[in-house]
Chain A
């Protein structure tokens, strides 16, 4: 009886352990599921605010319109129907608040009960009108025609140069500036961090005495432990004003500020991984080099660095990954202007910062909400590719060396 109980306990515990170890896998699967379920939804939606319609005169030959065209029409950049495939007539814009220019308050009615009729008659009588109004004011016998709007397309989403999800009447969901902004800031960060990080890892693994190393190692760990919001705060009160003063800018919240802070934050990752790789250089190789008369420095750059180059690469890529995914520090110091960056002294906006800044005000389940989840998907994929690349590099290395 006792052995049975013992055996049962063993099996039970093993099951429990196995269950626990599947949690991470389950979480990754769930993250993918929830992220992509919401994110892909964005391509199933029209980029116009829900419950609104865009209507034209029934004799107008235009049938379809994209969100960019709508925006350009309402920004008066497109002024003629000819430009979007219609007859060569100039476009007459109509917003709901313009209704009083056409009809008296009496015709509209106190509770807007006459409004649907007015709209219908107006659109019927003005041939070149384009009107944007809530669907609830659509007359039952509407004499105009509703304009079909394309769903958000992949090319629009990835190729669009404008991110303005709350724009009226059509949301602009181009993620290009955000992706470029993210890469821009991260690239700057790695350019700053790589030389410093490499120097430190060479120094710690090959040159410094054991005592110095024992002091430096925990300090680097501490650098990794400082919360990102504290880095952001430090950047906000020190680096941002410094940049503003140095370069005489109207605002100091720039891509450069983000790169500096992210560079500091990426340092521990780069140092730990490349130092590890350098320490793994076989002693025999180093000693052979020294025995041939090479100096310690020659040994470092002719033997140690080439030997550990894949580890260094892995560290650099992982550092970029950290920088790309970092949210709070970037949100606080880069100024968050969603424009395609041209210099490091301009404000930029990254993908994570966009999610953090906008999710709070995006209505649950709406187009904007789903677009932010789609951004999350992009971020997830980028970091996944980075992690797999790093693993590939370090695995290949293992096989080559053994």
Chain B
């Protein structure tokens, strides 16, 4: 009597698992499908728009024709400016957190504050950047104000990735170096940093990807609606790719006519993110293997 029952049970168990795994697999692949749909849609619609002229010409006729050259340059300025500020400070802060300070209340506070900073919504950075850099310090709507705002936003990302890179360095390297009589900074700069370097650069690339797409922080600190000339100093306003996309897809006078430009701009943004991600992954893999082999 018992044997067939058990058989039945086992069968049901198997069937349940089959169904459950099927559903899980389906749902997981549907997420991949969503990504593929978004990417292929933007690529399909935008690929015809992108040309050499599109990325090197000024916008024309109320942004319904011409290129997006000033927006690209503006975004490059902002990315560069924010990284000049955030990268060194972020790396130094991470070194201090990981190599110097001992576990305790100070480390806890700094860690907590970095986490808090990472959780603040980007629009709040925009408000802050406006009231501190634009108004209080009198930079006005400028590349400087925008870069600083974006830099603060990127700071936790840089700190986190750098910390992870430093943590991945095996402690034996440090002990060996200290044992040979090297000082703390000598150990950090000549032993730890070179090993962690590829991962730190990976973090840098990922934060560049993040910063280049941010819109909310630059709305009120730098972005110009339409400015068909290049910025000449850090106190100039500038156009930026994400803001440009927002403007021409929502509030332009000829939304329908400027749609192709919008698809092209979206594609350029996607390409930047794709390159950043591929580069970061490639570096990780390449150096990951290399470090292991040593």
Query: Hey, which bits of chain B sit against chain A, CB under 8 A?
Result: 13-14, 16-17, 20-21, 23-25, 27-28, 30-32, 34-35, 38, 41-42, 88-90, 92-93, 95-97, 100-101, 109-110, 112-117, 119-128, 130-132, 135-136, 152, 155-156, 159, 183-185, 206, 209-210, 212-216, 219-220, 242-243, 245-246, 249-250, 259, 262, 266, 269-270, 273-274, 276-277, 281
Contacts and interface: CB of A to CB of B under 8 A. Distances in A.
B270 A226 contact: yes
B216 A352 contact: yes
B92 A17 contact: yes
Nearest to A206: B24
Interface string A269-305: 0010000000000000000000000011110110000
Contacts of B245: 229-230, 233
Nearest to B18: A297
Contact of B113 (A25, A204, A230, A355): A25
B250 A23 contact: no
Contact of B114 (A24, A238, A301): A24
A324 B123 contact: no
B273 A222 contact: yes
A75 to B, nearest CB: 29
B120 A31 contact: yes
A20 B93 contact: yes
Contacts of A372: 127
Contact of B115 (A359, A373, A387): A387
A176 to B, nearest CB: 20
The interface residues of chain B, by DSSP majority, are classed as helix
B183 A229 contact: no
A379 B155 contact: no
B250 A10 contact: no
Contacts of A306: none
B38 A234 contact: yes
Interface stretch (A59-67, A86-94, A116-124, A194-202): A194-202
A356 interface: yes
A383 B127 contact: no
Given A20-B96, A35-B128, A196-B30, A28 B117 contact: yes
A328 interface: yes
Contacts of B212: 227
Given A28-B117, A35-B127, A296-B17, A14 B100 contact: yes
Given A326-B121, A359-B127, A372-B127, 12 more contacts: A6-B183, A18-B96, A21-B110, A24-B113, A34-B132, A34-B136, A196-B30, A202-B24, A230-B42, A230-B269, A234-B266, A298-B17
B126 to A, nearest CB: 8
Nearest to A218: B281
A383 B121 contact: yes
Contacts of A301: 20
18 contacts: A10-B185, A13-B185, A14-B100, A17-B96, A21-B96, A34-B128, A219-B32, A232-B246, A233-B246, A297-B13, A297-B21, A325-B124, A328-B216, A352-B216, A359-B220, A379-B121, A379-B124, A384-B119
Contact of B116 (A35, A352, A384): A384
